[in-house]
Amino acid sequence: MAASEKLIVLAAGGTGGHVFPAEALATEMTGRGFKLSLITDRRGGAYGGALGSLETHRIRAGGIAGKNISALLRSGPELAFGTLQARFLLKKMRPRAVVGFGGYASVPTMLAATFGGCKTVIHEQNAVLGRANRLLASRVKRIATSFEGTRSIPETAADKVVHTGMPVRQTLTAVRGTPYPDLNENCEINILILGGSQGASILSEVIPEAIGRLDADLRARLSIIQQCRPEDLEAARGRYQQLAIKAELDSFFDDIPERLCAAHLLISR
């Protein structure tokens, strides 16, 4: 049976670093008249934005980053079963192409796509090819990279690399030209601190201590908005309270474009 000329399947899940580029591609390709479907893992939550409107299928996906033999033994059957689930879905959907965005959640679908002879692309968001994408590199048709000279690409897959850059959501590109907020000697200084979709413990530990060393008059003008890991929220919030610094902390913000526009300084990883 011929492939559906207008259907593209996205394989993504896990952290925002994998999900947000998939959302950006979904928005762009939908605007070009393509139909998009998402295959993700069962542990993922409900997606918003462009991904939230897609036909979504959830399969099993065993982690491939286990550090001990018991973890590997547990993940192997999950990965195999998830690959069978994805193979069944792809045979029924017959997509024009399958695009993976790294992370263990994408592996079963991308393996199933290569076994089934689908056109396949993986996208790497980082400067070093991730573990999941290294596993898939020799099997897929193309490897799209965010950076030129991405490291850890197998020599046998070097001719598959296409430097595309990072897909960025339209909600972010739309505010690119927003004027820098006014800053004077008396105004409140807005500092936005982001550690990726899961937060970063090092930022929660280091930044409050660094800010605590500032002059008291300067600290009094600060307004901190910081993304923390859930387990770090209480400690970070307590430290800012000790320093009498205005701070809004959360594990995730869904209005990043607006917060970027209001920030005088962004600290991110």
Domains of the chain: 7-172 (3.40.50.2000), 176-268 (3.40.50.2000)
Task: Place 89 in a pLDDT band, splitting at 50, 70 and 90.
Answer: very high
Res 1: pLDDT: 43
What is the share, in percent, of the chain residues with pLDDT greater than 70? 91
pLDDT at 62 over 80: no
Can you read off the two tokens belonging to residue 107? 């592996």
Buried/exposed code over 44-71 (b: 16+ C-beta within 10 A; e: otherwise): beebebbbeebeebbbbbbbbeeeeeee
Structure tokens at 143: 């490897």
The confidence band for 52, taking pLDDT boundaries of 50, 70 and 90, is confident
Q: What is the pTM of this model?
A: 0.83
Cβ 36 vs Cβ 52: under 8 Å? no
- Is there a contact between 10 and 95 (Cβ–Cβ < 8 Å)? no
The pLDDT score that the predictor gives to residue 231 is 93
Q: Is residue 258 classed as helix, strand or coil in its secondary structure? A: helix
Q: First vs last Cα of the chain: how many Å apart? A: 46
- Give dist(CA 64, CA 83) in Å, integer: 13
- 190 with 263: CB under 8 angstroms? yes
Higher pLDDT, 216 or 75: 216
Residue 82, amino acid: G
Provide the mean pLDDT of the chain: 91
pLDDT at 73 exceeding the cut of 80 = no
Edge-first strand order for the sheet with 222-227 is: 246-250, 222-227, 189-194, 265-268
Q: What is the mean pLDDT of residues 244-261?
A: 94
Q: For 249, what's the count of Cα atoms within 13 Å in the CB-facing half-sphere? A: 23
pLDDT band at 61 (very low <50, low <70, confident <90, very high): confident
161-218 per-position pLDDT tens digit: 999 999 999 999 999 999 999 999 999 999 999 987 666 889 999 999 999 999 999 9
User: What distances in angstroms separate CA 63 from CA 67, 73, 84, 88, 133, one per listed residue?
Assistant: 10, 10, 16, 21, 13
